[in-house]
Chains A and B, each alone.
Chain A
Amino acid sequence: MLEGTVFRFGDNIDTDLIIPARYLNTSDPAELARHCMEDADPTFAARVQPGDIIVAGANFGCGSSREHAPVAIKAAGVACVIARSFARIFYRNAFNIGLPILECPEAEAIAPGSRVRVDLGTGRITVVDTGAEYRARPVPPFMREIIAAGGLIPYVKARLAGGR
């Protein structure tokens, strides 16, 4: 169970907003985290606390394939991203690097600054103050296997070791 404060963003939050290309001359997660969401909200990196949650509209993570985007979000301490929908490469990348993400059609009903509890297993999202509940789409079983293994690389390692 995760619990954190919500940072709200709109539709089509692209990878250039999540981590501008001018910072891509490194792949150091801590350095990427310092510039996370910089062009969408320059104060984000300074304000975000470990365990906080990003909530956004449609097509979150659109644009480039840069894995630096979910890496920056994860390294900034964000516990989970909830959005109405995700761009497909971002969706794969997030699972592969172990950043939990949830697709929730009602994501935009969750107010900025509210405390929410997220049950990744069931996809239940609860707003602590109001008790309002939302349901996220269930995570496909294959994705759950990857998460259970600790990401794609450990998953592949196990697969190689098992000779499958």
Chain B
Amino acid sequence: MGRVPQTITEKILAAHAGREFVEPGELINARVDVLLANDITAPLSIREFEQLGVPVFDPAAVVLVPDHFTPNKDIKSAEQAKTVREFARRHDLPNYFEVGRMGIEHCLLPEQGLVGPGDVIIGADSHTCTYGAIGAFATGVGSTDLAAAMALGETWFKVPETLKFVYTGKLGPWVGGKDLILRTIGEIGVEGALYCAMEFSGPVIESLPMDGRFTMCNMAVEAGAKNGIIAPDEKTEAYVRGRARRPYRVFASDPDARYKKVYEFDVTGWEPCVAFPHSPDNVRPVRAAGKIAVDQVVIGSCTNGRLEDLRLAARVLRGKKVHPDVRLIIIPGTQEIYRQALKEGLVEIFIEAGGAVSTPTCGPCLGGHMGVLAAGERAVATTNRNFVGRMGHPKSEVYLANPAVAAASAVMGRIADPEEVV
């Protein structure tokens, strides 16, 4: 039988299903390498899992990160975090990350080398798709799916069709991964990739630093995708080397692989952009935003809480002051990122500018704590969702942007282009 051309997503799934190849639309059972849950989703998983009365199939494969409402914002959150902690102890799970040693899950797992190229990763969190940036198949599932997989070490998938995105041309100043993905979602819409894999490729992706690639794959779910993925290259290898805790395997799409659709974007002339409320596909160039006053700016989250993001924000904020009407909240994604930001003097710049710098947490990203909005308030955030009520009151508004735009907006007191500040 001849060779069947495969995409990277199909190859990884086939390898984990013990198959030569898989076809889009097929239902398969696949082995999972890593399973993730957080302080919101793990308690539900634990409740379901304990009904099965079996041990965890591989304690090292389960990663638990209390990051959403931690450090515990109230008594109920404290109870949830306690459930997770006690479960980790009872089952001797080595990969439980406590406050002070943790980070936002999707910043933390790649940084700690817990996920590697070629892995299949499921997480009870929709932004699990972030790990596609290192060439893994990673996707969000519900708590019950996770509970079943904790027992079985495998789960079922419908093999997704793949949409290929090829980016060519030259990236403009202040334009990065966030703008690429926002523009892309703006083009195809929030259901544009429903059930599909989004494969990002082309010279622009090759030139993009790892942090920008994480940002892109992170937001694949905002287009409805099952996963986002970028084939590993030297940058990926350099990132993974010295971190990976397990052997990994590099896959790439065959040149003649079949795609549902191929999109080609010439990014030359693309400007930094903003997603207006209340949908991530409501995208406009920042310079066409008009005069929109803001009350709060949040720089952080699993989308843009990495070191490159903080460096970018610092470039804009250096020697500047936050506008008197604005609260600037900056949240490094992990303890390691926080420490590095301290070392590089970034935290100094933020505090000097009048910003509040917090310990790693999801916090305001989901309207949890550390920056919840009141009715009528507006925020610019480097996060990934601007749904109604996402950051607080249902009558508040969230505008999504890259860290440089967010920083510039904090200084100007309105949505602003970094060029206006630097």
Interface residues of A (CB under 8 A from B): 11-12, 14, 16-17, 20-22, 24-27, 38-40, 58-59, 62-68, 70-71, 85, 87-89, 92-93, 96-97, 140, 142, 151-153, 155-157, 159-160
Contacts and interface: CB of A to CB of B under 8 A. Distances in A.
B390 A21 contact: yes
A20 B191 contact: no
A87 B40 contact: no
A67 B140 CA distance: 11
A63 B43 contact: no
A154 to B, nearest CB: 9
A25 B77 contact: yes
A64 B48 CA distance: 19
Nearest to B366: A21
B385 interface: yes
Interface residues of B, number: 51
B140 A25 contact: no
Interface stretch (B8-16, B142-150, B207-215, B342-350): B142-150
A16 B387 contact: yes
A64 B144 CA distance: 15
B51 A157 contact: yes
Given A14-B387, A153-B147, A160-B151, A93 B142 contact: yes
Contacts of A96: 142, 144-145, 148
Contact of B141 (A63, A65, A142): A65
B191 A58 contact: yes
Interface in B125-182: 125-126, 128, 140-145, 147-148, 151-152, 156
Contacts of B40: 24, 66, 68
Contacts of B145: 92-93, 96, 152
Given A25-B69, A63-B385, 9 more contacts: A26-B80, A39-B388, A59-B224, A64-B126, A65-B141, A89-B126, A96-B148, A160-B52, A160-B152
18 contacts: A17-B389, A21-B366, A21-B367, A22-B392, A25-B77, A25-B80, A27-B47, A62-B190, A64-B366, A65-B123, A65-B140, A66-B40, A68-B40, A68-B44, A88-B194, A97-B144, A156-B151, A160-B54
